[in-house]
Each structure stands twice: as structure tokens, then as C-alpha cells.
């Protein structure tokens, strides 16, 4: 809004570039324009301020479709004041000389005008369309109908207004009808969500089954390898036993051969020993016989006294103790004479 400053009986007005000011004095326009700044006397001045920027007004229309379903149409109309002087003559844009604010609410009056002008084409379209048709393509159709009606409405131009744009913000049925209409889509979405959940569960089950099969295959492979390992170990143990048995048999054969050789050697040794012993005994027997013969020869040629001495000496070598010894005088006398060299007398 315009800014009005008080200086005693004089006022100073300053307007923004998007504010068109009309200064009336004595029923005539004395000054007009956008963004004015000037001094004036309030007692002889009548002021009006018209916005020349784009203005947006929003309103809601409650109508019925062809199948008697209530619909709410929320529209936004963007317009501007093309001729401020004409608009000021049709709508009260007066401002207070002391405050600079509108004495009435001109924009509300224009909003009512636009809603009233929008009602007939909107009602005409919805009355010929079903609820489904209105919801499917009603927004674009209503916008086109409103644009066409506004541009063809001479009253809007006569009021100094120009249409900029029309926007259908919302076209909706009653809450319960809207909820009922949303139910199939919601159920379809829920069904798809459930199907997706089932698919995920099925995939999870399939993955789990694949994992279990993989684990089972792994276990079977491990069992097979374990069986092969056990079999290989058994074969190795059997081969080792066979090798050990062969080695033991070879060792036994070697031992038997060695024992045979030892036995043969021992037999030969014993034979040689026996032969040597027999030969030794034969030689010894011959030696004893020769010795005996020699003894006989010696004894035959040995004097009786010497033989007696030798016998006594040999006898003394073999006895351990002598308890009684009887020596007769005859024996001593005989031997003493022989020792002196006197042979005994022959009788």
C-alpha cells in the first residue's frame, strides 16, 4: 500500500512501482500514475490505489457430476488490472488520506466476481460428465472451459481486467467416495506388495534350498573323498602288510638259508671235530700203547729196588693221607744192602 506521511495540514504520498495511484480533486483526476510521490492537501483530495501487478485469487466450487456425485473444484485465477481508471470506476479502490489503506476490500470483491464467472462453465461441464470422466480428465477440460469463458466474457474486459492464467488446483469427490475409489487401487497395490513379499519369500526359500543342496553336495563330495581316502589308506596298509610279509618271508628264507648254512657248517665242524677227536684218540691210544710198551720195557730192564722206589713215589703222589705205615726190617735191610751195593744172598 501507499505510504502517507503527515506534516501538519500537508500530507506526502509515496507509492510503489506496482501501485497505480489516482488523485481526484473536485471530481476530476488531477494526478495518476504508478510509483508516484508528491505532496497534497487531504481536505480537497480523494485517493484511489489500484494494484497493477499480477493478482492470484483461489476459490472452491462445490458441484455434482452427471451421476450425482459431489465434487470439489479448487481453482486459482491469475489476473491483472489492465485499465486502472476503469477498474476504479467499477470497484471501490479508495484509500484513506491519512492511513493509505483501502477503505473497503476491493480484491475480495474481484475474487467473488471471478468465482461467479467460473461457476457456469464448471457446472456445465460437470453436469455432463460422470464421476469417473471428471476425475480422469476433468481438470484439463474445466481449465479449457474456464479460459474460453473468461476470454469471451465482455464484462471482465468492461471492468478493466485481463486474464493471465487459470489453474485447477484440485478436483476431488467427497471423502468417503474418494476412499471407496482408492480402495481397488489400494488393494491392487497391497496385492502387488503381498505378491512381492511372496516372491521375496519364494526367492529366499529357493536360495535356502540352493544353499542346502550345495551344502549337501559338499557333504557328499567330502564323504566320497573321505571314502576314497579310507580306501586308499586301506590299500596302502594292505600293500604295507604285503610288503612286510614279503620282507618277513624273505627274511625268514634268508634266516633259514643262514641256519642251513650254519647247520651244515656245524655238522662239518662236528664231523671234522669228531674225526679229529677220533684221530686224536687213535694217536693217543697208539701213544699210550707205545708208552705202555715203553713202560714194560723199562720195567723189565729196571732193577727191582728202583722199580719199588718208583712205585712208592707214584703211590705217594696219588694218596692224600697215610694213617698207618708198616715197614718191616727185612724190607729195609734188603733195600739198604742193595743201596750199598751188596746184593742179597741167594739161599
Q: Where is pLDDT greater, at 123 or 257?
A: 123
The sheet with strand 70-81 has its strands ordered as 55-64, 70-81, 161-173
Q: Is 9 among the domain residues? A: yes
Q: Which residues contact 117 (CB under 8 A, 6 or more apart)?
A: 149, 150, 153, 155, 156
- The answer to the question of residue 185 being in a domain is no
**Would residue 313 count as lying in a domain?**
no
pLDDT at 60: 94
The structural domain count of the chain equals 1
- Among 61-70, 269-278, 288-297, 307-316, which is the least confidently predicted range? 307-316
- Confidence at residue 120, expressed as pLDDT on a 0 to 100 scale: 93
CA atoms within 13 A on the CB side of 3: 6
What is the pLDDT of the chain when averaged over all its residues? Answer: 85
Average pLDDT over residues 155-179: 90
Integer angstrom CA distances of residue 149 from 66, 69, 127, 145, 163: 21, 24, 17, 6, 11
Phi then psi for 8, rounded to 5 degrees?
70, -125
Residue 347 pLDDT > 60, yes or no?
Answer: no
In a domain, 37, yes or no: yes
pLDDT of residue 335: 63
Per-residue pLDDT at 336 exceeds 80: no
CA distance 134 to 127: 10
The answer to whether position 320 is within a domain reads: no
Most confident of 146-160, 292-306, 318-332: 146-160
**Can you tell me the mean pLDDT for 93-101?**
90
| 3-class SS of residue 32 | strand
Amino acid 310: pLDDT = 72
Range(s) of the domain holding residue 163: 3-173
Question: Does the residue 275 lie in any domain?
Answer: no
Is 186 among the domain residues? no
What is the model's pLDDT at position 346? 47
10-14: strand order across its sheet: 3-7, 10-14, 37-40
CATH number, residue 86: 3.30.479.30
CA dihedral 248, 252, 258, 260 (to 10 degrees): -170
Which residue from 137, 126, 4 is spatially nearest to 65, judged by alpha carbons? 126
Is residue 38 in a domain? yes
**166 and 147 in contact (C-beta within 8 Å)?**
yes
Q: Are 57 and 65 in contact (CB under 8 A)?
A: no
pTM over 0.75: no
Which position has the grid cell 529366499? 204
pLDDT of amino acid 293: 76
Residue 144 cell numbers, joined:
479449457
Q: Hey, which bits of the chain come out as E strands?
A: 3-7, 10-14, 19-25, 28-34, 37-40, 46-51, 55-64, 70-81, 94-95, 161-173
The pLDDT of 3-28, averaged and rounded, is 91
**Per-residue confidence band for 2, with pLDDT thresholds at 50, 70 and 90:** confident
pLDDT at 339: 59
**Which DSSP letter does residue 103 get?**
S
Amino acid at each position: 500500500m501507499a505510504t502517507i506521511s503527515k506534516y501538519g495540514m500537508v500530507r506526502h504520498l509515496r507509492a510503489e512501482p506496482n501501485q497505480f495511484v489516482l488523485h481526484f480533486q473536485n471530481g476530476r483526476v488531477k494526478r495518476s500514475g504508478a510509483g508516484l510521490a508528491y505532496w497534497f492537501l487531504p481536505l480537497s483530495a480523494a485517493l484511489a490505489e489500484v494494484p497493477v501487478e499480477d493478482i492470484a485469487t483461489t476459490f472452491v466450487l462445490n458441484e455434482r457430476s452427471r451421476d450425482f456425485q459431489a465434487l470439489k473444484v479448487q481453482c486459482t485465477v491469475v489476473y491483472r488490472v489492465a485499465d486502472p481508471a476503469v477498474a476504479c470506476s467499477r470497484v471501490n479502490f479508495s484509500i484513506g488520506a491519512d492511513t493509505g489503506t483501502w477503505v473497503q476490500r476491493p480484491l475480495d470483491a474481484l475474487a467473488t466476481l471471478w468465482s461467479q464467472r467460473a461457476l457456469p462453465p464448471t457446472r456445465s461441464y460437470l453436469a455432463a460428465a460422470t464421476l469417473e470422466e471428471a476425475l480422469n480428465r476433468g481438470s484439463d477440460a474445466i481449465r479449457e472451459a474456464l479460459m474460453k469463458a473468461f476470454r469471451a466474457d465482455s464484462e471482465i474486459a468492461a471492468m478493466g481486467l485481463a486474464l493471465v492464467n487459470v489453474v485447477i488446483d484440485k478436483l476431488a469427490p467427497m471423502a468417503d467416495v474418494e476412499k471407496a475409489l482408492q480402495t481397488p487401487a489400494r488393494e491392487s497395490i497391497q496385492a502387488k506388495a503381498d505378491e512381492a513379499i511372496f516372491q521375496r519369500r519364494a526367492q529366499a526359500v529357493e536360495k535356502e534350498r540352493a544353499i542346502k543342496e550345495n551344502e549337501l553336495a559338499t557333504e557328499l563330495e567330502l564323504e566320497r573323498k573321505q571314502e576314497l581316502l579310507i580306501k586308499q589308506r586301506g590299500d596302502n596298509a594292505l600293500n604295507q602288510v604285503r610288503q612286510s610279509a614279503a620282507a618277513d618271508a624273505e627274511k625268514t628264507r634268508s634266516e633259514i638259508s643262514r641256519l642251513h648254512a650254519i647247520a651244515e657248517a656245524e655238522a662239518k665242524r662236528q664231523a671234522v671235530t669228531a674225526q679229529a677227536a677220533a684221530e686224536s684218540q687213535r694217536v693217543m691210544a697208539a701213544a699210550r700203547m707205545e708208552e705202555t710198551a715203553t713202560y714194560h720195557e723199562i720195567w723189565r730192564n729196571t732193577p727191582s729196588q728202583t722199580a719199588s722206589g718208583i712205585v712208592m713215589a707214584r703211590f705217594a703222589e696219588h694218596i692224600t693221607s697215610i694213617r698207618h705205615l708198616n715197614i718191616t726190617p727185612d724190607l729195609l735191610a734188603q733195600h739198604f744192602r742193595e743201596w750199598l751195593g751188596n746184593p742179597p744172598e741167594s739161599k
